[in-house]
Amino acid sequence: MANTYTPIATVIVGSGGAANIEFTSIPQTYTDLLVKCSLRQSGYTGVTWDWLKFRFNGSSATVYSSRDLEGNGSNTYSNTFTSQNGMVKLGLANSTTSTSNTFSSNELYIPNYTSSNNKSVSGDGVHEDNATAAIAVLGAGLWSNTAAITSITLFPENGTAWVQHSTATLYGIKNT
């Protein structure tokens, strides 16, 4: 089990929002990576939540896939996703129509990010809302690429930007 978590970088979205959250020049000195984020997006009002999508190393090739389990308190769902515009979705973000000033909570765990094998990722997220429904998701994904991960970019699927105070922290993990 990992016993050292080192914060590498934190991004806090400022006034005016940001189209994405990006971690670049990720050091290659850790065993695994962990991204913890609290997100809310703007520009999408279809439902009270939106998917969190991410991309490694700016790769827009169709080499991403994921499977998830979702629940909303009364129903459960399972989905299989393949690359969508060179990104995979594996987490949630509050949308413009969710309860004001609420943000989702997500974790993405990326083991062996420097290896020369395809990269797996697991994630969990919950859409926070004071209304009658909330969504929780647990999933796993695969980036079919053998390159070491040097950057991670987080996007809302349907929204246009992350709102002010959306936050993401990248941690490096060592098994020492």
Dist. CA 50–CA 64, nearest whole Å: 19
89 within 8 A of 52, measured Cβ to Cβ: yes
Task: Give 90's contacts (C-beta < 8 A, 6+ positions apart).
Answer: 52, 53, 54, 66, 68, 108, 121, 123, 125, 137, 139, 140, 141
Rounded Cα distance between 71 and 78, Å, is 9
pTM above 0.95, yes or no: no
The CATH number linked to 8 is: 2.60.120
Cα 81 from Cα 23, distance rounded (Å)? 24
Instruction: Give CA separation, 127 vs 38, 105, 106, 154, in Å.
Output: 10, 7, 9, 16
Q: Give every CB contact of residue 15 below 8 A, 6+ residues apart in sequence.
A: 164
Range of the domain at 107: 4-174
Rounded CA separation 135/105 (Å): 11
Report pLDDT for 84: 62
* d(C-alpha 56, C-alpha 150), whole Å: 7
Tens of pLDDT, residues 43-86: 988 888 888 988 999 887 778 888 888 888 888 888 887 766 66
What pLDDT was estimated at residue 83? Answer: 67
pLDDT along the chain (176 residues), means of 10: 83 97 97 96 88 87 81 84 69 88 94 96 89 82 93 93 97 87
DSSP letter string, 84-110: SSS-EEEEEEE-TTSSTT--EEEEEEE
State residue 86's pLDDT score: 60
The predicted pLDDT at position 85 comes to 60
* Count of domains for the chain: 1
How many helices and strands, by DSSP H and E, does the chain display? 0, 14
